[in-house]
Structure 1
């Protein structure tokens, strides 16, 4: 599976964070509505219980001495008044006593403040006297405050959990899309790089063929050049198909026996015109050896290593094919300036940069070629490495299981 780039990974994190925040906001709205409904239900239930308790108490009252806990009673006939001992300062509630004594109407005062506390008051006319029941609301308020505190703690925990789950789910949802985008970008970059060299070789052969045809060249030689041109076009098609297969991790390509020595000889022959333009001689030293793999992919790897060697060699690029224990090796030995040790750990990474050049602010980039060789080698269960030769120049080695 192709992994997202660092830029794509940042996009995934931002998107997942936004989804987490949105999930938390949705949960916050839902929790706020549910909490509001819960509080209203609890308050309504409390008011109903308080009213029922006051009504029941007044229906059974015959004196003021033994009211339920948290309640006080007042009985007033004319100017005579009896009250439960220990009544809080500021009570009874005189406005309702006076009004009920005047018109005989029952009055309910749900929230009466006396001192620092609130009370529920029910006042009724009984035969020839007024009776008032006073209920302390502190326990009800404590229950309400405890409910609000518990709801707040639970809501905050739910918001945090919703945010975390939203981020997690968002990342799971976005990651496949980012991986698909990374595969697409990688295919475009790989195709642009891999097709450049074959197209250059194809163009060079076509130009040579056209020049010889205009000069009235030998028909047999022209026919041979045309055959080579057709073969290069077929190889170009194979490379494109291999790129498409490599870009889709779901595709399984059956491996086939590949004559590695013959493949290298064909690749070297195709690279002769490009090497000649650079003034580089190609020398092949090979012995028959077979590997199991994808011919188009191996051809891409060999072409990339040839192109790298031609660009860095001064006069000669030597290609050696042969066994190395249980593996097959292909060495590309150039007589160029060699490799800077500082770039060796990263030269097979995509778009790796080497140390700064002499010009300030410039860094040498190594593009895709060698990283693609590393990918192809890994697909075949092999590896690629680089080192400096003892007598100067560089050696790039491709190892494949035999």
Structure 2
């Protein structure tokens, strides 16, 4: 078996579409077969009843009935049947009932492995009964079922092969495009990693020359975080790979994110506050950090004076609320706020350029990959509340 992931992807897709096509044909053939059998059976019953009625109406005596039919006539207490009538015929119960009330009766009689349709009518002063052997009707129905099964099997085979062939033709160009995209991301990541490594090295050298607890420590931490984000993006760009997940201390992550956002908040005159409870989630730290940073950035950009970050826990879920005291979110924008490239009006009081909701859409995708959700609402006291809800791991 080939170890090439792209080849495995094509083969899996071919097999899946082939099976789906075969399943669709199977359902169609089954429904068609059932409909055909029911129609044939109904037609046969009508023909059998008509044949029995005709045999009774034209019967002069019981010695020369139509092929496959046996006759019985009861008149004046005397019963006469076609010579060599099968065992179980005539049907005495029907003869007696029709002789008593004169009502026509049609019943199916089983004798051994044979089945007969029996019709009993009153003709003048006589009761006439005609019995038809159903063996030939059953044989005709069995042949029809065999033909349908054979046609269905051939149809399934053709449908499966056709589905696999169509899938290969459809998926191969897409796989090639994805491979090109992955190569581009890998090349871009390699090119970005080199200057990022140099930046990290120079920041560490600068920290050795600076006094303890300086802003350079934050710069070094930011370069490490940027490298982790780059690794996470490279993993996320390849859908074939599973991003490694591990327990993440969400309270500690929020503390780090709020500390990193302090300079940007201070520059805008926004005060940040953090309230947490012990909580861990199972996921990948880089993605969760990007989500929290995007929520913080959105809150800082739209706040007037304060942004509150609150971590709460309820049952098996944890929730991060980022609450700002800004003008809130227009009601028309709430349904599409987390849609990729959905436009969001800029805060005109800060003379900003118009922004787009790409960051919030990424938060939605990260939340979905962790089995969580992200929502937005306006606070009753003013401002907006963006909530990230995730499954708790401890």
Q: TM-score, normalised by structure 2?
A: 0.48
Larger Rg: 1
